[in-house]
Amino acid sequence: MQKFKRVTLSLDEETKQILDWFNDYTEFSKSELIRYMLLYFKENKSELYNIIHAQV
């Protein structure tokens, strides 16, 4: 089983509000949502994923 490193991200206020909304209206936790966001960015070769991944 793959081990995950614990990463602390600084999120802007708008991103926090989006995560709060998803957390309130879905069954996902914030950490799960962030994980799915990172997977999405990775699959789409997002520049943001590369920036975050480089900081891990």
The answer to whether the beta carbons of residues 30 and 17 sit under 8 Å apart is no
The answer to whether the beta carbons of residues 49 and 38 sit under 8 Å apart is yes
For the chain, give every domain's residue range: 14-55
Q: What is the pLDDT of residues 13-40, one digit of tens each?
A: 877 787 778 777 777 777 787 777 777 7
- Lookup result for tokens 């990775």: 42
Share of the chain above pLDDT 90, in %: 0
Share of the chain above pLDDT 70, in %: 62
pTM of the model: 0.39
What size, in residues, is the chain? Answer: 56
